[in-house]
Amino acid sequence: MAEKERLDMFCYQCSQTARGTGCTVKGVCGKEPTVARLQDNLLIATKGMAAYLYHARELGYTDTEIDAFLERVFYSTFTNVNFDAEDLVRLAVEAGEMNVRTMRLLKKAHIETYGEPEPTDVQTGTAKGRSIIATGHGLKALEELLKQTEGTGINVYTHSELLPAHGYPGLKKYKHLVGNLGISWRDQRNLFSRYPVTILGTSNCVLIPREEYRDRMFTTGPARLPGVQHIAGYDYIPVIKKAKSLPELEEKPGDVVLPTGFSKSVVLSLRDKIKQLVEAGKIRHFFLVGGCDSPLKKMEYYREFVRRLPQDTVVLTLGCGKFRINDLDLGEVEGIPRLIDLGQCNDAIVAIDIATALAEVFGVGINELPLTIVLSWMEQKAVAILWSLFALGIKGIYLGPIVPAWVNDDILKVLKEEYDLRLIGDPEEDIKQIFNRRC
Ligand code: SF4
Ligand code: SF4
């Protein structure tokens, strides 16, 4: 009991803090544990937004209304400002709305800079030649790397959340963007040890490197790693120099080809066909299975869930959680692929726009669509997205692999009551429950 109470909150942001080390039961200022946790929740969600905003700004896109909201949020978590739990929930919903706006800004930036993605099959083997692997989310960093390596004979591979880069016309035009190596961020250490090539980390989801490849790894943008050379700006000469000093990779085809690049326009160009297939009972249900990957054993749920889905279902995916399922051959339903990769986690905005458009096509509300969201979260961007989905009134989301640690029983109760939030359980049972609810 004492242990639980001690862990109920943690705040050490002001000089009143208990014992000079931290308020862990209740704030000396009077802050209740649930208020402290809701403040943490708000900061966690807005950190996710900040990452998207950063990448939009990199491409010259900004929004002063979002900036002003961030100021308001940070101020509301200041000492002795806001002790109102209900208001902190309202602010979290507002953060969800602002994150929709932020994801839309970033999508606009990506499309206006690189064109709208088009369906693309990405190779997963190696081509002969010296190579650089780019990991993270930074399309701008990848573009600069591609420009600077063009004509040098160096091949560039994506890793993890850069896989969707292959679908953008402005990036896929570079012939030396040859494929994707590895899966999500969690395989970095093994992957980078296995391939003796240069590595560029462009954003979050970089891991502290093993010694064996530290000297051939570089960071750029917001990423920094101990003992790893950081490139401020976009001058990648040291990266290219290192790549030229390393051995060539051999030609070795991959075991699978990964499909990506399904944009809003591509999916909505199929809307009449989708309507016809749904009305004919040939597509029974859509699932959005995506979000973050993580090494937790419970992440196996997502692959099992998708493997057990019947043939008359279509799976949309996004984020690096897709690497749990994107090697599965799910086939098609009369020309509609059963696995549709919409892109990075910020492309949740594409999923939202598609769902909204399909709701119009079927003349129903978004919650009446035959669609269930099965979300995996690891870090702050996924939390921002979760609040965006709540802000849009989307109910019945399945969330895993675990309940966020800052969500106590009181907060979980509100999320269940207000948003019908469900926690992932057994894949088979969850699928049955979803279909039973729909019948
Ligand atoms: S703000 Fe309140 S809860 Fe936080 S350290 Fe100060 S007294 Fe404790
Ligand atoms: S989806 Fe989440 S966990 Fe995966 S690479 Fe992106 S930010 Fe990291």
What sections of 137-228 are H helices per DSSP? 139-149, 169-172, 188-194, 211-214
Average pLDDT over residues 146-169: 98
SS3 149: helix
Taking 60 as the threshold, does the pLDDT of residue 5 lie above it? Answer: no
Using the 8-state DSSP alphabet, how is residue 247 labeled? P
Give me the pLDDT at residue 437, please: 83
d(CA 76, CA 67): 14
Q: How many CA atoms lie within 13 A of 197 on its CB side?
A: 28
Give me the pLDDT at residue 3, please: 46
Average pLDDT over residues 58-75: 98
Average pLDDT over residues 208-216: 98
| Residue 396's pLDDT band (cuts 50, 70, 90) | very high
Taking 60 as the threshold, does the pLDDT of residue 125 lie above it? Answer: yes
Ligand 1 atom with least separation from CA of 79: 1
Instruction: Tell me what percent of the residues of the chain surpass a pLDDT of 90.
Output: 97
- Give residue-wise pLDDT tens across range 334-389: 999 999 999 999 999 999 999 999 999 999 999 999 999 999 999 999 999 999 99
Average pLDDT score over the chain: 97
Dihedral in degrees, nearest 10, Cα atoms 198, 201, 202, 204: 170
SS3 248: coil
Instruction: Indicate the burial class of 33 (C-beta count within 10 angstroms; 0-12, 13-18, 19 or more).
Output: buried
Ligand 1 atom with least separation from CA of 12: 5
Dihedrals phi, psi of 339, to nearest 5 degrees:
-130, 120
Q: Is 186 touching ligand 1 by the criterion CB < 6 Å? A: no
Non-local (6+) Cβ contacts of 248 within 8 A are: 128, 129, 130, 131
CB 143 within 8 Å of CB 114: yes
Please state the separation of Cα 226 from the chain's center in Å. 25
d(CA 367, CA 371): 8
Q: How far is the CA of 14 from the centre of ligand 1 (A)?
A: 6
Average pLDDT over residues 423-427: 98
Average pLDDT over residues 387-397: 98
d(CA 163, CA 179): 8
Taking 80 as the threshold, does the pLDDT of residue 431 lie above it? Answer: yes
Pocket probe for ligand 2: among 135, 202, 345, the residue whose CB has the most ligand atoms within 8 Å is 345
Pocket probe for ligand 1: among 11, 32, 35, the residue whose CB has the most ligand atoms within 8 Å is 11
d(CA 293, CA 186): 8
| Residue 283's pLDDT band (cuts 50, 70, 90) | very high
| Residue 8's pLDDT band (cuts 50, 70, 90) | confident
SS3 184: coil
Give me the pLDDT at residue 7, please: 66
Beta-carbon count within 10 A of 98 CB: 27
Taking 90 as the threshold, does the pLDDT of residue 6 lie above it? Answer: no
Q: Is 36 touching ligand 2 by the criterion CB < 6 Å? A: no
Give me the pLDDT at residue 399, please: 98
Give me the pLDDT at residue 439, please: 57
Taking 70 as the threshold, does the pLDDT of residue 135 lie above it? Answer: yes
Rounded alpha-carbon distances, angstroms, from residue 258 to 86, 163, 263, 313, 340: 44, 9, 16, 20, 11
Rounded alpha-carbon distances, angstroms, from residue 315 to 111, 309, 351, 389: 24, 9, 11, 18
d(CA 45, CA 379): 9
Give me the pLDDT at residue 2, please: 43
Q: How far is the CA of 345 from the centre of ligand 2 (A)?
A: 7
Q: Which helix (H) or strand (E) holds 13?
A: none
d(CA 219, CA 161): 16
Instruction: Indicate the burial class of 354 (C-beta count within 10 angstroms; 0-12, 13-18, 19 or more).
Output: buried
Q: Is 345 touching ligand 2 by the criterion CB < 6 Å? A: yes
Taking 70 as the threshold, does the pLDDT of residue 100 lie above it? Answer: yes
Axis crossing angle, helix 348-362 with helix 271-279, rounded to the nearest 10: 60
Taking 80 as the threshold, does the pLDDT of residue 261 lie above it? Answer: yes
Give me the pLDDT at residue 4, please: 44
Please name which ligand lies nearest the alpha carbon of 25.
1
Q: Is 158 touching ligand 2 by the criterion CB < 6 Å? A: no
Average pLDDT over residues 291-305: 98
131: β partners:
155
